Structure 1
Amino acid sequence: MSREFRRQHRDIKGLTFSGNATARFSTGAIEHRVTAGGDWYRQTLWSLGQRTRVGVAPVSFLNPVYGVNPVSSYDLSAGRRDLADTTAHRYGMFVQEQATLGRFILVGGLRQDWFDDRDEGDPKTSGNRLSWRVGGIVKPIDPVSLYVNYSQSFEPQDPGSQSASVGDPFAPIANCQIEVGAKGSLLGGRLQPTVALYRIVQNNILQEDPNIPPVGGFDQLRPLGEVTSKGVEFTLAADVTPDWVVTANYAYNDAQITQGVPGVVIDSSFGTRFPNAPQHQAGLWSRYQFPRWDLGLALGGHYVSKQSDRRGNQIPGYTIFDGSITKGLGFMDVMLRVENIFDKTYALSALDEIRGSFLGRPRSVFVELRKTI
């Protein structure tokens, strides 16, 4: 496999303000909770990168040999130079009403978003959108809650993706979601089951188009179209004893490209599964506390089924295990946490067979100190 050497410097600065206020009052038997607020966000990104393949030796997947060429032998003067200077400016306002009448709760809200972004050398890109949400909860009996929720969301593209150098300014990502479910608190709260069914529709997700050669060294982007995800999630939390807690979960997700864009044909297109979206995920986590020694032991595993990359190639599924030991010292707590206990090699996601996969973290050990003031 051919390789590429990159040297990058990034300078990112961000500033955020947000605030909200809540008023509670009653009109007859109806209790109201009205919340209103807003947020303002600004981020600047300056980056300079250089890349080259001159002097960089290829490597074998099966028998890799590293260190054949020292970094000093790489010829960056013959490579590509990338400069980025962008500003993302986002702000919005919202209001939400929650009305409670006996066993019924109704929620409704509106949000107005604006954005005003800049990519050096291109005109500013700006826009706005009004989105809303509505939902309801009913408690047929005290330990059980049934709910339904519909919501919209609005997400501007990254400023670098709005540049004419990568294809064109693109419309923001627009999402809508409907979810129904139930939550329970059984056996005096010792057993807490949850189930949720959902349908999420996303529009204007961008991907690199391999059918178009880079222009000026920049890969060209195109909108993927409409992506629809349908699935179900189960969670069960149980207090087996006052000192032993077990949590199990399972999720099924069917994500497909349900509508294409006229004139745009990329490797993942209408009627195919959305890349890097596993159909099955499951987890099991257990924690036991030894009060006598102020000691807690935790162990869990996480399973992810196989996925497809952008060209339909299969990425194997994996199961990894994590664990931790927490000890109270009186004046503070210390935790020893181990991720990927068995040091399994696995792929989180992939681009294609040429650019390879993003590997998961190898066995990692962390020590954390905590003190509550």
Structure 2
Amino acid sequence: MRKLYPLTVLFCLCSSLLFAQTGNIRGKITTADGNPAEAVSVRLKSTGYGNLTNAQGSYELKNIKAGSYTIRISLTGLETKEQNVEIRAGETTEVPTIMLNESANQLQEVMVLAGRGKYNDSNLSNTLRLAEPIQEIPQNIQLVSSKVLSDQLVTSLSDGVIRNVSGATRLEHWGDMYARINARGGRLSAFRNGMNITSTWGPLTEDVSFVDHIEFVKGPAGFMMSNGDPTGLYNVVTKKPTGTTKGEASLLLGSYDFYRAAVDLDGKLSGDGKLLYRFNLMGQTKNSFRPNEYNNRYSIAPVISYKLSEQTTLTAEYILQYAQMSNVGSYYSFSAQGYGSLPRDFTLAERGMEPTTIYDHNVTLNLQHQISPNWKLTAQGSYFNYQQVGSSMWVNSVETNGDAVRYASIWDASNVSKFGQVYLNGTAQTGGIQHRVLVGLDLGSKEYLADFNQSRNLDSTGTFNIYRANRGAPYYGIPHFDRSLSLYERANVNGNILSQSYTGIYIQDELGFFNNRLRLTLAGRYTDVRQNSYNTITTGKRFTPRVGLSASIDPQTSVYALYDQSFVPQSGIRRDGEEVKPVTGNNMEIGLKRDWFGGRWNTTLALYSILQNNQNIADPTNTASEQYIIQFGQTKTQGIEFDLRGEIVPGLNLVANYAFTDSKISRSAVESEVGNKVPGYAKHNANAWLSYRIQEGALRGVGVSLGFTYQGDRTTWAWTGASGQQALPDYFRLDGGLFWQRDRLRVTANVYNIANTYLYSGAPYLGYYYWQSEPGRNSRIGVSYSF
């Protein structure tokens, strides 16, 4: 905390010296039929001030020198409108609603014809709880928009999303079952619409057909959670009705028999616009570059929103995801000769093995009530039910000559979660201080049951060799498992039950000084957690503080500093009989954010340091029958992150990022481990995705995309082992494509891994290595039509 005091004094001095008397303006733009007009440019003539309207048609321009100005409203293909406005020092001027001459459908058509998209969006979802622009939040938060996902032909969260965020890597992915995303030396918690749905295995990775955008929050987020990894979280925001009648149908074809179709319908169910709907439907079949491997899915996601009154809206949402895939262990390769020593398409899988089938249901009710112009209440409840029937694979042994013994094990699972949340957002004024207040209550319970204790060998010693091309049928045949007992009975016998229940109360006040140019965040959260992990029950009660400081150097630039805490309850048995302490995490962070050219693109630079205490390892004095743990001390993760996203010049969109990460054991009961790297990150991580669309002439609508992903000095999935083990090589992948858009039709053709590089990630295990390889050069062609 002492490190923050000089920054606080510096920010206060800068604010008082640099700013003259300024004011703000805000307003709303609608279409001729009364619907909100989104993505319309709002600028002050003869100045650099500007912004785009959000989904509600609202805009706000801040910290403008007092005086008379002219607002200019424009969008390519529409008539430009202007309106005079007077800005007074220390006040927010409300501009009367401006109505465009076009209807909502006409506006949508103009935006499609113009090829307009948003790589950069400064407005967060309501489910992130923070009712303010990203630039004013004292934390590194990155938003991956639907436009970015569409241009990259992303189909699920495990399908290249992380290239759009600095420092993110994906580990232990088990195909497309779930997206385990790491950043800042640990696992990011998985959220959907503001609810923490993270589990040991899961949740089923979201299909992008019903995803609006994804919000990545780096570091602890006391306004969202405090019982979670201090590295951060990602929040998947699903599509909701917009009040504009529109739709889109798409078809996607790709390598390895990939076929996918989706439809997105958005509109009104009543003439008065009080009852709205959104409906997304997707179906796909997909094979693999490895034989005997497939992944077929479909999803259904209807949403109904009803405006109970001018102040109150109730939204009901249901999501069903179905997946049927081959045995998930087939993604692994094993060899004693080192990484990449087998062909890229090597597989352990055999034809005829039973598939893994998953049904994933989610029902959410959300109520939003505008108490007054400055206060809003949100309440939501959600139920998740995940059911899995299937199996996995591994090896019992791998010899240097290639002889291996494979085994298949049952993997049936149930994951049921319930969440309830109520939170209040508001603004108030006390003297010259503006307050942004957030108060909330979180309730949650999760239960994961699994049977993975039945296993059958496929091979006898010497009957299967990883180097043998024609290996024949498994020696012991295809296994079948006993499911005569219920999953609960099977899981209970073997102790494979993981559950957690928690209650969290939090309050946050962001105090704005000097007309909100200097912002001090004071917050705290009290969390009570109880969990059962493999018959070991632990409890934890903890208060975690949050202190942030943010200052606007000018309307486009802000600097910030943050101190935040979190904790993670742990399970285990100590030899001394003492209770296992939770992992506690502290995050200190400073950063710089800047919007360029009226918000068309922005940059974020962040420096951070995270300490995690009380990590568990096995007690080195254990006998063969003992499973005691010791809590070895502390890990320290430090790094730098840089993100750039937006429209650099008309038609040229860019997402680029770089992260330097250093994560090591800083204190340990085992002295020799101090200084060892923590597994699961890349020291250097760089990404870029550039898209250019020709604006004029005979080739108008033709575009090109190009992107790369680089990871250098990678650590493995597991804790580092003995010296002399192979290190993972650096990773570089080049992707690109062409697209064409005219009227309501868009055609996109992307090629991935253009250089056809053998790419993989993995770890040493016993006397051999295992890894998961990626496909070589492959392609996708997408056709979409908006109506």
TM-score, normalisation: structure 2: 0.40
* 8 Å Cα contact 2:406/2:459 also seen in 1: no
State how far apart, in whole Å, the 1-side matches of 2:761 and 2:637 are: 19
* 8 Å Cα contact 2:572/2:628 also seen in 1: no
* 8 Å Cα contact 1:156/1:172 also seen in 2: yes
State how far apart, in whole Å, the 2-side matches of 1:47 and 1:101 are: 53
Q: Helix, strand or coil: the match of 1:272?
A: coil
Q: Which of 674, 684, 709 is the matching residue for 1:280?
A: 684
Write the mapping of 1:297-336 to structure 2, written as runs, cut at 5 A: 297-309=704-716, 310-311=720-721, 313=725, 314-323=727-736
Percent identity over the alignment is 23
Deviations 1:53-80 (A, max 9, x none): 573557666x354744527447899xxx
Q: Which of 735, 754, 757 is the matching residue for 1:344?
A: 757
Deviations 1:294-331 (A, max 9, x none): 67653311100123441253111111234466676977
**Match for 1:101: what amino acid?**
F
Q: Helix, strand or coil: the match of 1:315?
A: coil
- With 359-368 and 45-54 compared, the bigger mean Cα shift is at 359-368
* 8 Å Cα contact 1:276/1:349 also seen in 2: no
Name the counterpart of 1:155: 568
When residues 55 and 132 of structure 1 are mapped into structure 2, their CA distance, relative to the original with a 3 A threshold, is same
* 8 Å Cα contact 2:568/2:582 also seen in 1: yes
Q: Which of 570, 594, 607 is the matching residue for 1:197?
A: 607
Q: Do structure 1's residue 245 and structure 2's residue 653 form an aligned pair?
A: yes
Unpaired stretches in structure 2, ≥5 consecutive residues:
1-397, 399-403, 482-492
State how far apart, in whole Å, the 2-side matches of 1:213 and 1:324 are: 57
Name the counterpart of 1:181: 591
Q: Helix, strand or coil: the match of 1:185?
A: strand
Name the counterpart of 1:90: 502
Q: Helix, strand or coil: the match of 1:254?
A: strand
Q: Do structure 1's residue 125 and structure 2's residue 527 form an aligned pair?
A: no
Write the mapping of 1:206-221 to structure 2, written as runs, cut at 5 A: 206-207=616-617, 212=622, 215=625
Q: Helix, strand or coil: the match of 1:91?
A: strand
State how far apart, in whole Å, the 1-side matches of 2:420 and 2:656 are: 37
Q: Do structure 1's residue 112 and structure 2's residue 502 form an aligned pair?
A: no
Q: Do structure 1's residue 21 and structure 2's residue 424 form an aligned pair?
A: yes
* 8 Å Cα contact 2:419/2:445 also seen in 1: yes
- The alignment covers a number of residue pairs equal to 358
State how far apart, in whole Å, the 1-side matches of 2:552 and 2:613 are: 35
Quick check: which one's strand share is greater? 1
* 8 Å Cα contact 2:524/2:546 also seen in 1: yes
Name the counterpart of 2:582: 172
State how far apart, in whole Å, the 2-side matches of 1:370 and 1:71 are: 48
State how far apart, in whole Å, the 1-side matches of 2:624 and 2:470 are: 30
* 8 Å Cα contact 1:200/1:229 also seen in 2: yes
**Match for 1:305: what amino acid?**
G
- With 197-206 and 233-242 compared, the bigger mean Cα shift is at 233-242
State how far apart, in whole Å, the 1-side matches of 2:476 and 2:631 are: 40
State how far apart, in whole Å, the 2-side matches of 1:116 and 1:371 are: 49
* 8 Å Cα contact 2:641/2:659 also seen in 1: yes
Shift of 1:15: 1.8
Name the counterpart of 1:271: 675
Deviations 1:5-56 (A, max 9, x none): 1322222222222231112110122111110112222121221122355735
Name the counterpart of 1:9: 412
Q: Helix, strand or coil: the match of 2:680?
A: coil
* 8 Å Cα contact 2:612/2:634 also seen in 1: yes
Name the counterpart of 2:299: none
**Match for 1:111: what amino acid?**
R
* 8 Å Cα contact 2:457/2:476 also seen in 1: no
Relative contact order, higher structure (CA 8 A, sep 6+): 2
State how far apart, in whole Å, the 1-side matches of 2:638 and 2:649 are: 36
Q: Helix, strand or coil: the match of 1:205?
A: strand
When residues 329 and 32 of structure 1 are mapped into structure 2, their CA distance, relative to the original with a 3 A threshold, is same
* 8 Å Cα contact 1:88/1:117 also seen in 2: yes
Write the mapping of 1:133-144 to structure 2, written as runs, cut at 5 A: 133-144=546-557
Name the counterpart of 2:381: none
Q: Which of 228, 232, 237 is the matching residue for 2:636?
A: 228
Unpaired stretches in structure 1, ≥5 consecutive residues:
none
| Aligned-pair Cα RMSD in Å | 3.8
* 8 Å Cα contact 2:762/2:769 also seen in 1: no
* 8 Å Cα contact 1:347/1:357 also seen in 2: no
Shift of 1:182: 0.9
Q: Do structure 1's residue 38 and structure 2's residue 446 form an aligned pair?
A: no
State how far apart, in whole Å, the 2-side matches of 1:215 and 1:329 are: 69
When residues 192 and 121 of structure 1 are mapped into structure 2, their CA distance, relative to the original with a 3 A threshold, is closer
State how far apart, in whole Å, the 1-side matches of 2:456 and 2:784 are: 44
Deviations 1:343-364 (A, max 9, x none): 5333334254646344254257
- With 235-244 and 102-111 compared, the bigger mean Cα shift is at 235-244
Q: Helix, strand or coil: the match of 1:319?
A: strand
State how far apart, in whole Å, the 2-side matches of 1:242 and 1:269 are: 53
TM-score, normalisation: structure 1: 0.79
